[in-house]
Amino acid sequence: MFTVIGERINTTLKKVQAAAADRDADYIRDDVKKQTEAGATYIDVNAGARIGHEEEDMRWLLEVVQGATDLPLCLDSPDPAILEMAYGLVNKKPLVNSISLEKDRFEPMIDYLKGKDCRIVALCMDDSGMPKASDDIISRAQTLVSELENIGFGRDDIFIDPLIQPISVDTGNGRMVMSAVHTIMTEIEGVHTTGGLSNISYGLPQRRIINRSFLAMMVAHGFDSAIMNPLDREAMQVVLTSDMLAGNDDYCMRFITASRSGAIGA
Domains in the chain, start-ordered, CATH in brackets? 3-261 (3.20.20.20)
- In the predicted structure, residue 199 carries a pLDDT above the cut 80: yes
Of the candidates 258, 194, 196, which has an alpha carbon nearest to the alpha carbon of residue 224? 194
Report pLDDT for 112.
95
Report pLDDT for 215.
98
- In the predicted structure, residue 65 carries a pLDDT above the cut 90: yes
For the chain, give the percent of residues with pLDDT over 90: 98
Mean pLDDT of the region 197-209? 97
Buried-state track 87-105, b at ≥16 Cβ within 10 A, e below 16 = beebeeebbbbbbbbeeeb
Report pLDDT for 265.
82
Global pTM reads 0.97
Mean pLDDT of the region 108-116? 96
**Average pLDDT score over the chain:** 97
Quick one: pLDDT band at residue 168, thresholds 50, 70, 90?
Answer: very high
- In the predicted structure, residue 266 carries a pLDDT above the cut 90: no
**Plot region of 203 (φ>0 → left; ψ -120 to 50 → alpha; else → beta):** left
